[in-house]
Chain A
Amino acid sequence: MQIEKKPLIVAFCCNWCSYAGADLAGTNRLNYPANVKIIRVPCSCRVNPLFILKAFQRGADGVIICGCHPGDCHYTTGNYYARRRITLLFSMLSYLGIEKNRVRLEWVSAAEGAKFAATMQSFAEEIAELGECKRLEDLRCKK
């Protein structure tokens, strides 16, 4: 039997807003694609650019980072720093010719369960359209 290889999506969610938003989506029984794998981080600014590249190395086809809305960070300013870092990284990826839709940053609060589900849905569709990530793959990790 051929197992369909769904695109794999890694979502870095901050503990205080987006992860709680995902929880809310669950308790409200809102569906979001099963190929979105959530990694919980204390804050969006915990996401080292290396994490994102590592996710691609290990076979992710798309990476999305979610955090509290600017101004609402649990640690007051973490997401502002994250915003600068991530903007520069995304710009560099695109500069190297990596499809710019493979990465995304969204602000999702703990009250936005519906937004979380909708964001994941739309991101998953975008990645499905792009297909497998070939430009940042590491064959050794695919064995």
Chain B
Amino acid sequence: MQEMIKSKLAELLSTGAVTKVIGWKRGENFYDVSPAAFESVESLADFVYDDFCGANLSKFLVKEPGKESKVAVVLKPCDTFSLNQLIKENRVNRENIFVLGVPCEGKLSEEKMRVMGIVGLTGCKVEGDKVTVETLYGTETLDKNDVLLTKCATCHSKKHVIFDELIGETGEDSDVDRFVGVAELEAMSEDERYEFWRNELSRCIRCNACRNACPACTCEKCVFDNDASGVAAKSNANSFEENMFHIIRAYHVAGRCTDCGECSRVCPQHIPLHLLNRKFIKDINTFYGDFQAGADAESEHPLVHFTENDPEPSIVKEGK
């Protein structure tokens, strides 16, 4: 698979069809695969596509003012939703992008392995629902479901919604219920929910990684970079900013969040941010009809659209 992708990318670069490729490259450790740009055929030697390519590359395509060269990007199915959404918002110029769709069977989480006591990873092979990992200390076989990235465990679609060329085949929408976590919280009492979120959100260190990684968060001037906003940095006095930051972060992407799961994946404090985003997605689905951001480039954004018979906010009070 990796070699097929590589040779396609090499062809694109050598014919001059694109001047840059956005893909992944191995970092210091085997599992440490990060986004990278490749500008020559030789540099493609470092290109990697394996089970640790969780990062969504769509955000790297956001327009750089004044730069209009053609770029190729390698996207997994879920990443294509993000790109579609960016095109819809005019943040990416479709003509300047070549999308190479690649299949994905769910990516793995090194962090989950580490929690299970598996360290010093040097190799990894997935066969069906088993994962064989090689470490400095020997070989082990694990259940794939135990070490899937959280976002991949509830993947909503394996279908590429936008691409110029596919390597392998595209998949189908999945019918996994991604709202189980949200429903569990909704079923709790107000106090229990408050306790749950206090416990989660108070760990936030305001590194802003969730915002930076999010392909929907692409404002040039972010409210959280504005010192006058009163929420530009973490307060050590109390909990207000944590609430404020997290409500506003999730709110600003409501209706645009494609549920790509990057925010939760990058959070160094393991805060389940997807539970906030999915609450908005679930509410939009129940109040205003099913909506999947990024599924197409035409449909109305639910927050800049309305119908005359929308429910009143008192629907929240009536308890759901």
Residues of B within 8 A of A138 (CB): 235, 237-238, 240-241
Residue A122 lies at the interface, judged by CB distance under 8 Å to chain B: no
Cβ < 8 Å to B, chain A residues 11-41: none
Nearest-CB residue, chain B, relative to A140: B237
Question: Across the interface, do A84 and B306 meet the contact criterion of CB distance under 8 Å?
Answer: yes
Give the bracket for the number of chain B residues in contact with chain A.
35 or more
Q: Is B284 an interface residue (CB 8 A)?
A: yes
A96 touching B197 in the complex, CB below 8 Å, given contacts A80-B310, A83-B310, A139-B237: yes
Q: Is the CB of A87 within 8 A of B310?
A: yes
Q: Which residue of A lies closest to B288 (CB)?
A: A84
Bound together, the chains give a CA A53 to CA B310 distance in angstroms of 24
Is A96 in contact with B311, judged by CB distance below 8 angstroms?
A: no
Find out whether the CB atom of B306 lies under 8 angstroms from the CB atom of A137. no
Kindly state whether residue A46 has any CB partner on chain B within 8 Å.
Answer: no
Pick from A54, A95, A96, A97: contact of B230, CB under 8 Å: A54
Q: How far is the CB of B201 from chain A (nearest CB, A)?
A: 8
Shortest A43–chain B CB gap in Å is 14
A101 CB to closest chain B CB (Å) equals: 7
Bound-complex Cα distance A93 to B246 (A): 11
A99 sits at the interface (CB 8 A): yes
Among A49, A87, A92, point to the contact of B311 (Cβ < 8 A). Answer: A87
Q: Tell me the minimal C-beta distance from B192 to chain A in angstroms.
A: 8
**Whole-angstrom distance between the alpha carbons of A90 and B186 in the complex?**
14
Q: Which residues of A contact B316 (CB under 8 A)?
A: 87, 90-91, 94, 100
If the complex has contacts A81-B306, A83-B312, A91-B283, are A140 and B288 also in contact, measured as CB distance less than 8 A?
no
Classify the interface of chain A: helix, strand, loop or mixed: helix
Set of chain A residues within 8 Å of B230, measured between Cβ atoms: 54, 57
**Interface segment out of the listed B21-29, B147-155, B247-255:** B247-255
A136 within 8 A of B: yes
Q: A88-B280, A92-B251, A92-B276 are in contact. Are A53 and B308 (CB under 8 A)?
A: no
List, in ascending order, chain A residues with CB within 8 A of B197's CB: 96-97
Q: Which residues of A lie under 8 Å from residue B315 when comparing CB positions?
A: 87
SS class of chain B's interface: helix, strand, loop or mixed?
Answer: helix
Q: Does B243 reach chain A (CB closer than 8 Å)?
A: yes
Do A95 and B244 have beta carbons less than 8 Å apart?
A: no
Say yes or no for B190: interface residue by CB 8 A criterion.
yes
**Min CB–CB distance B24 → chain A (angstroms):** 34
Residues of chain A in range 81-140 having any CB-CB distance to chain B below 8 Å: 81, 83-101, 104-105, 135-140
- Docked-complex contact B243 and A136, CB < 8 angstroms: yes
Q: Given the known inter-chain contacts A77-B306, A91-B283, please indicate yes or no for A101 contacting B317, CB distance below 8 A.
A: yes
Pick the contact of B190 from A91, A99, A139 — CB < 8 Å?
A99
Residues of B within 8 A of A97 (CB): 190-198
Q: Do B312 and A93 touch across chains, with their CB atoms under 8 A apart? A: no
Residue of B nearest to A85 (CB): B303
Q: Can you list, as one digit per residue, whether each of B46-64 has a CB less than 8 Å from chain A (1) or not (0)? A: 0000000000000000000
**A53: shortest Cβ distance to chain B, in Å?**
5
Q: Considering the chains assembled together, what is the distance between the CA atoms of A98 and B287 in angstroms? A: 21
Least distance between A31 CB and chain B CB atoms (Å): 25
B313–A96 touching, CB < 8 Å: no
18 contacts between A and B (CB under 8 A): A49-B248, A49-B251, A57-B244, A70-B308, A80-B308, A83-B306, A83-B313, A84-B288, A87-B315, A88-B284, A90-B313, A95-B185, A97-B195, A136-B240, A137-B240, A138-B240, A139-B237, A139-B238
In addition to A97-B193, A100-B190, 11 A-B residue pairs with Cβ atoms within 8 Å of each other are A53-B244, A80-B310, A84-B288, A87-B315, A91-B320, A92-B279, A92-B280, A100-B316, A105-B313, A136-B240, A137-B240
